[in-house]
Amino acid sequence: MRTLLFDTDPGVDDAVALAYLLSRPDCELVAVTAVHGNAPVATTADNARALLRLAGREDVPVAIGAARPLAQEPAYAPEVHGEDGLGGQRALLGPPTPPSGSRAVDEILRQSERHPGRLDILATGPLTNLALALLCDPELPRRVRSVTLMGGAFDMPGNVTHAAEANIYHDPEAADLVFAAPWPVTAVGLDVTLRVALEEEDIASLAASDHPLLAAVGRMCAHYAEFYRRFLGRRAAPQHDALAACALFAPHLFTLRRRRVRVERRGEYTRGMTVSLRGGAGEAETAVAVDVQAEEARRHILESLAALAEAGRR
Ligand code: BDR
Ligand code: CA
């Protein structure tokens, strides 16, 4: 059983990741913290609450986090995720949700104190909330069991610039703090996430599900797959964020390599690049996902989502 805090910017693939986490009997989801990224933070926080409401999981607290990166203006991704962050489907998830009033940094620190040495963090957006929590309490890494993040492009080009992947590009300073901190970090980057996509027939069968959350994520993925058509040459929905969640619950699907990762912050052309450095004994190392059993991972995600639908019928 993992005690998990999910830091996220929903986001179509974040929504699939959330559904995956809710499907896992071995995941105790203690809190969701929202961050700017795919859409403004007020939108991503509302999306997280609406998705949980649709799943009947309003017991999971949602705390609102950083509205902007540490050292640059925020930028969103409406072309990928729609203006509403959910592929134009937000209106189907019901009315706006009331904010809880709790703040992401406080929630991260509180959960780490409530579950010292047992809290796993999954981060699938820009890393601003985690960096702010580290700045507020440098002892935080001692209380956290692991950080698994979707971010980086290690041995391939990025998806925002040739150098940078979106979650790192949207707050390079924060990402560098997270990679340099003394906690075990696993990075699941584009090298593996672009290889695990839901195909058109998977998306259609999710959209036809009798589970309201799965039906909604199916419709979101249809929008998102249309965006990816020009990159992949087919309508398919890469599962960046759900795959990062799989690294926690199905680690056998991955090959990891230990690297000392830092983030380029000053490069004129390479800002946000994840760089693997040599040497540096005693410095923080990251387990970087360099390979994945892609077809098995796709099936694993679909089977987990099917189990959520099955549980909903009981
Ligand atoms: C990452 O960026 C966002 O668009 C996705 O939600 C994912 O977390 C992929 O680069
Ligand atoms: Ca995301």
Q: Are 218 and 227 in contact (CB under 8 A)?
A: no
Closest CA to ligand 1's atom 10: 166
Distance from the alpha carbon of residue 76 to the mean position of ligand 2, in angstroms: 11
- From 150, 161, 169, the mutation candidate for ligand 1 (largest count of ligand atoms within 8 A of CB) is 150
Q: How far is it, in rounded angstroms, from Cα 192 to Cα 100?
A: 35
- Total number of domains in the chain: 1
From the CA of 194, how far away is ligand 2's center (Å)?
13
Q: What is the pLDDT of residue 100?
A: 87
User: What's the pLDDT score for residue 278?
Assistant: 76
pLDDT < 50 stretches in the chain: none
- CA of 312 from ligand 2 middle (Å) equals 26
Instruction: Write the residue with the smallest CA distance to atom 4 of ligand 1.
Output: 38
Kindly give the distance from the C-alpha atom of residue 307 to the centroid of ligand 2, in angstroms, as a whole number: 23
Tell me if residue 115 is catalytic.
no
Which residue range(s) make up the domain with 306? Answer: 2-313
Ligand whose nearest atom lies closest to the CA of 171: 1
pLDDT in tens, 228-279: 999 899 999 999 999 999 999 999 999 999 999 999 999 999 999 999 987 6
pTM given for the model: 0.97
- Which of 44, 167, 223 has the most ligand 1 atoms within 8 A of CB, as the residue to mutate? 167
Write out the residues surrounding ion ligand 2, Cβ under 5 A.
Answer: 9, 11, 14, 124-125, 241
Given this model, what pLDDT does residue 101 score?
85
Please tell me which residue in 115, 211, 223, 240 is annotated as part of the active site: 240
Of 7, 8, 124, 231, the one to substitute when testing ligand 1's pocket (max ligand atoms within 8 A of C-beta) is: 124
State the pLDDT at residue 105. 98
The CATH number of whichever domain residue 264 belongs to comes to: 3.90.245.10
pLDDT of residue 279: 66
